[in-house]
Structure 1
Amino acid sequence: MKRNLYLNVQDKETALQNFLSAFEDISPKKEWIPVTESLGRITAEASYARYSSPSYNSCAMDGIAVISSHTKNASEDCPVLLAPEKDYLEVDTGDMIRPPYDAVIMAEDLIEAEGGFRIIAPTHPFAHVRAIGEDIVTQEMVLPSHHEIRAIDISVLISAGIHEIPVIKRPVVGIIPTGDEMIDYRETPEDGRIIETNSWMFQNLVTENHGVGRRYPIIKDDPEKIRSVVSDAVQDCDIVIINAGSSAGRDDYTVHAIRDLGEVLTHGVAIKPGKPVILGKVQGKPVIGLPGYPVSAYLTFVEFVVPVMHLFIQQNARPPKRV
């Protein structure tokens, strides 16, 4: 098989724009999952509260629930003695406040006395009381769409009575490492052998960008085997990455596999490192050949795989760090 020559090397912006334009029909899909398993997922639509929180008027402090009008004349010069049940009930934080009691006095502000508690300052209705819906009101929007769910959001959702939530389905990214010289990391490297690590980097980069990585076994430099695995991966995945074999070597078969199965949109981009990247389309799905050199692999993943993943989740890329 003859060498792959870069006949039409494109600048990065043009290559990326043409690549994304080829998949304008891609749109996010929705799935429902338990709220308790939703950390890091992206909401597909807004969620609205089923319950108010709190759902009743509750004590915000430990102390006594009082009838506020019975405290209006209290002062340091003229303390007021409050009698149990007649004027107050002892309460703890979170207890329900029931009429005729309408306020709470903190335990720290009470003076124990025979027959009850003395107070030296008046209080007012709803002092130290959490009113119904103070945190969340029924039918209030709890989370907007396209929001990345945080740990604190899960607590709020549960408080609002939301048990399942619609989230954007994560794209499945097939990762196919290739190369006669590549071995599994659990094997001992000998002369001429290299531990394959890129696929693990890709899998975790996929996870960081709201996708699901599906690693395939290392494929030898055999054009038929590569073509067969790519064909199977396209059936099972939303995006397929073929790592290594993208350059102009005698055993670089990635571009031929993509061309045989679909269409090569770009082979060669004017970036260094990363020039040999291949951007293709097979059965309407993005298929990307990434160089084997780890720095090139990382750079081209960030520049080309991440943007196409964002088509599936409608999420903007995080701005790069600048120094």
Structure 2
Amino acid sequence: MADCCNQPGLVSIETAKALLLDAIKAVDDSETIPLAMAVGRILAEDVKSAVNLPPCNNSAMDGYALRMADAQTDGRLEIIGKSFAGAPFKGKLWPGTCVRIMTGAAMPADADTVVMQENVDSDGHSIRIRCDINQGDHVRRRGEDVIEGTVLAQAREQIAVPHIALLAAAGVGEVTVKRRPQIALFSTGDELRQPGEPLGNGDIYDSNRVALRAALEALDLQILDLGILPDNKAAITKALGQAAHAADAIITSGGVSVGEADYTREVMEEMGEIDLWKVAMKPGKPFAFGNIRGVPFFGLPGNPVSALVTFHQLVMPALMAMKGAEWSPPANLPAKLLSPLKKKPGRTDFQRGIFRNDTSGALVVEAVGAQGSHILSGLAAANCFVVLEQEQGSVGVGETATVVPFCRSFGAW
């Protein structure tokens, strides 16, 4: 039996993604900011190293720096000095001598090997080596990590904490990054109340806008929060006009279905263009995309799970492209089902699940909670989507299904 919500004119999710990514343009503006503030930002230009890393030969261990030729003798080696990080030994090694050296300290001239302090007998004035060693042991070579002029991070790359460490080690204090796009956000519905307010008869809390704002902040985007709007055409028209003037993109939840009070789509048609309406996905069919006076518009469903699924699958890749980043979709992983999943052909289904490795190391997954588009508890307990393809039917225990782990900005890793 086919999905009763599989109506003519539904756009496949693959087509919808391609349409959005093709329509979205990256912001052009850039700014220079301190490196320490750059986590999550998108580089506007390549960053090259002006130094070698390490900048000089240095010791990887606490021990003694020496010439390998001297280590091959049976006698003791005289300790003629010390080399500390930041206070190197400035003299010269002569035959039969060595230098006490600490981790990270510069190697003395002519020294080519370090012997660990645990492998010598020392009387404070000389040492005797107690094991076989090889030339070059425990020496970090100049430029072995990075050679001067190497590109450390590329334009369009999103800066993560390891990038910060690498760039700082190379002496980079500032980076030029893309401006953060500003996203206008509001919810529509006479029944919506702000969390913390008392509920009247028939009221519900506005979870969508709060959750979407958190998701936008996780993507390091600027947010213009226009709050909760009533089901009123004039109010929605005013808010969309304000958003189109001030923002790089607009996101709403609710009002894109076919109810008598769903005005968002009607206003969109009057103020802009609708390029996409209704996607062959579950949950999330009533998803709209277009523009308001040239500004990209994403109309998310009102049901809370639907809103978050469409954000994860459709909006987030588009916003990353707007930031100027190269979009890398999450990995699709095959997993064995531990619970049966019901489905009717017609729409791609994103069921909520928990995946893990079983005792043999194999990847397994099971559904979590009820799968209704209003059931947030299951989504909160999940760590992945179990994706069932558009024309696929129900699947049973032991069959293989595709698992898509939640990405970091969605709150799980």
TM-score computed with the length of structure 1 as normaliser: 0.84
Is 1:249 the counterpart of 2:248? The answer is no
Is 1:81 the counterpart of 2:76? The answer is yes
**Does the CA-based 8 Å contact 1:68-1:103 persist in structure 2?**
yes
The aligned runs of 1:142-153 (5 Å cut-off) are 142-153=152-163
For residues 105 and 319 of structure 1, the distance between their equivalents in structure 2, rounded to whole angstroms, comes to 45
Query: Aligned-pair distance for 1:46?
Result: 3.0
Query: Aligned-pair distance for 1:49?
Result: 0.9
Structure 2, gaps ≥5 residues long: 1-6, 81-93, 333-384, 386-401, 404-413
Alignment correspondent of 2:356: none
Structure 1, gaps ≥5 residues long: 1-6, 75-79
Query: Aligned-pair distance for 1:111?
Result: 0.9
What SS does the corresponding residue of 2:148 show, helix, strand or coil? Answer: coil
The aligned runs of 1:201-212 (5 Å cut-off) are 201-209=211-219, 211-212=221-222
What SS does the corresponding residue of 2:39 show, helix, strand or coil? Answer: coil
Alignment correspondent of 1:154: 164
Query: Aligned-pair distance for 1:195?
Result: 0.7
Q: Larger Cα Rg: Structure 1 or Structure 2?
A: 1
Deviations 1:53-95, CA, capped at 9 Å, x for gaps: 2212212211222233322223xxxxx1112226122221112
Over 3 Å counting, the alpha-carbon distance change for 1:214 and 1:316 in structure 2 is farther
Is 1:283 the counterpart of 2:275? The answer is no
For residues 110 and 314 of structure 2, the distance between their equivalents in structure 1, rounded to whole angstroms, comes to 66
Over 3 Å counting, the alpha-carbon distance change for 1:82 and 1:16 in structure 2 is same
For residues 44 and 114 of structure 1, the distance between their equivalents in structure 2, rounded to whole angstroms, comes to 55
Deviations 1:269-294, CA, capped at 9 Å, x for gaps: 44444333322212222112222111
Write out the 4+ residue segments of structure 1 that deviate beyond 6 Å after TM superposition.
none
Task: Give the letter aligned to residue 264 of structure 2.
Answer: T
**Does the CA-based 8 Å contact 1:268-1:277 persist in structure 2?**
yes
Task: Give the letter aligned to residue 141 of structure 2.
Answer: A
Alignment correspondent of 1:38: 38
Deviations 1:172-192, CA, capped at 9 Å, x for gaps: 221111111111102121212
Larger relative contact order, structure 1 or 2 (CA cutoff 8 Å, min sep 6):
1
Over 3 Å counting, the alpha-carbon distance change for 1:111 and 1:292 in structure 2 is same
Query: Aligned-pair distance for 1:31?
Result: 3.7
Over 3 Å counting, the alpha-carbon distance change for 1:310 and 1:90 in structure 2 is closer
Task: Give the letter aligned to residue 81 of structure 1.
Answer: R
For residues 186 and 297 of structure 2, the distance between their equivalents in structure 1, rounded to whole angstroms, comes to 11
Query: Aligned-pair distance for 1:261?
Result: 1.7
Is 1:318 the counterpart of 2:318? The answer is no
RMSD, matched Cα: 2.8
For residues 151 and 177 of structure 1, the distance between their equivalents in structure 2, rounded to whole angstroms, comes to 34
**Does the CA-based 8 Å contact 2:274-2:290 persist in structure 1?**
yes
Aligned pair partner of 2:242 in 232, 241, 245: 232
TM-score computed with the length of structure 2 as normaliser: 0.67
In the alignment of these two chains, the number of paired residues is 311
Query: Aligned-pair distance for 1:232?
Result: 0.9
**Does the CA-based 8 Å contact 1:227-1:257 persist in structure 2?**
yes
Alignment correspondent of 1:10: 10
Is 1:103 the counterpart of 2:113? The answer is yes
Query: Aligned-pair distance for 1:115?
Result: 4.7
Aligned pair partner of 1:133 in 140, 143, 146: 143
